[in-house]
Chain A
Amino acid sequence: MGIIIAFISQKGGVGKSTLARACARELANNQISVKVADLDIQQGTCIEWGRTRLSNDIEPSVPVAFYKTVQAALADSGNYDSLVIDGPARVSAATLEIAKTANLVIQPSGASVDDLRPAVKEFHGLVNNHIPKSKMMFILNRIGTTAEEENARSYIQEAGYEVLEGCLFEKPAYRKAQNLGYSITETKYKALNEKADILIQNLINKIVTNG
């Protein structure tokens, strides 16, 4: 079984697909065989993005596939060095299955209480199901200011969870890039790419540390 990196959340629009795509893109760029498992068959965000990327001949290519169930995705994980799971905007028994198997479970969140409070509760739910906290990580997304980031970071840390160093600021350029099949590390702006790249690097470092 390859490395499994899972992006989960009860809410939509928090950045699961954005981060899953960037993560997969960077792995592919390092010649690591990777597959994005899009489990949101109703939304299909990653699938659409993969199609756009393919039709625009963007390298490296990032394979994306639909899986109706977690079991089907996990069964396929052995065929790749890494499987990046883009979960649906819903937490269920399947999320627990993902968490049990994944090397890292990432929950992106915005900086508002509306985002943070339910997100913490979801991780609490996984802890109550004996998922080690070392596997769980928050990534802050759609951040407005550094003060907002610090505030959200301390909230999560107080709740007992790790927050990945760095964050994604709310930038239209990220959306624009993804609309064209690029990832957030491939925008037209070097500074934005570097920030996103640092975030993904920190994520990879965390996986390496976890072993």
Chain B
Amino acid sequence: MADASKLKSLKKTLGDVPKLNEASNNTLSPEMAPSNSYNESYTRIDGRTMRRTNRTVRLATSVTPEFDRMLRKVAVEKNMLLAEVLEEALQFYCAKN
């Protein structure tokens, strides 16, 4: 008996292919996707905003208890702020690498 099962796969199940005149024009888009202009332009003003100098920014991260202990120990011993210890450590690291 003839095996016509493969003919089934020739049946168009994916529909017609797009024509050349249906080409995407995404190549006209800029390399960097435009960001959300609403979020970018909107800044909620309050008392702190008025006083903000942007000399410093907040940095929050998670560290091990050992690291935390050591960092605070150095800060106390040297009478420095935590941020100052980190700044100095980073400077030292960058100079070494």
- Report which A residues bind B (CB closer than 8 A): 10, 69-70, 90-96, 113, 116-118, 120-122, 124-129, 147, 150-152, 154-156, 158-159
Contacts and interface: CB of A to CB of B under 8 A. Distances in A.
B23 A93 contact: no
Interface of B: 9-10, 13-15, 17-20, 22-31, 33
B30 A93 contact: yes
A154 to B, nearest CB: 8
Contact of B33 (A90, A127, A128, A150): A90
Contacts of A152: 14
A10 B29 CA distance: 12
A113 B20 contact: no
25 contacts: A10-B24, A90-B26, A90-B29, A91-B24, A91-B27, A93-B28, A93-B29, A94-B31, A95-B26, A96-B27, A116-B14, A117-B17, A118-B24, A121-B22, A121-B24, A124-B19, A125-B23, A125-B24, A125-B27, A126-B27, A147-B9, A154-B10, A155-B17, A158-B17, A159-B18
A75 B24 CA distance: 28
Contact of A117 (B9, B18, B27, B29): B18
Given A70-B31, A147-B9, A150-B9, A125 B18 contact: no
A147 B26 CA distance: 31
